[in-house]
Amino acid sequence: MYDQPRSNSHQASMTFEEMLERVRYEGAYPTRERAAEAVHHVLAALGRQLTGDERVDLAQCLPVEAALALAASVPDIEPLTGWGFVKDLAARTGATPATARWDTGAVLVTVTRLTGHDLLARILHQLPEGYALLFGQAELRRPEPAAA
């Protein structure tokens, strides 16, 4: 039996060109090419962090070009915190951490528009702490296990 694609009840479809324009606006980038560069780098980095159904479902929400950038990266064995994600992105792209953080925010806020609340919650649950802010969401503390 083959897995059937899961429907995303909040799939606000967007073309890749519309996505680039939204990222360009969010990041105040001077050109569409700069926005495309940010999209490629950030989604490739996110692809190194996500696994399983969340990765597949996210790819289904994205325009094809963006989904390919996400899916082209092999997931890392050790997950990174949100700050570790930004530092890793900066090191891989030769950018400063501030620029990498800016790029991450511009891209992931746009991705949030495409995912819907349920999928975003699943993605954030899978990732270590520090990612909610990168997606433009409030960072809520996870409950501590009760002491025995």
The pLDDT tens digits of the residues spanning 46-74 come to: 999 999 999 999 999 999 999 999 999 99
User: Token pair 């990498």 is at which residue?
Assistant: 100
pLDDT of 21 higher than 90: yes
Q: Give the count of beta carbons closer than 10 Å to the beta carbon of residue 84.
A: 14
Nearest to 48 by CA among 137, 115, 128, 109: 128
> Tokens standing for 18?
């519309």
Across 3-17, 49-63, 112-126, least confident range: 3-17
d(CA 21, CA 15): 10
pTM of the model: 0.86
**Residue 79 DSSP one-character state:** P
Chain centroid offset of residue 98 CA: 17
Encode pLDDT of 25-43 as tens digits.
999 999 999 999 999 999 9
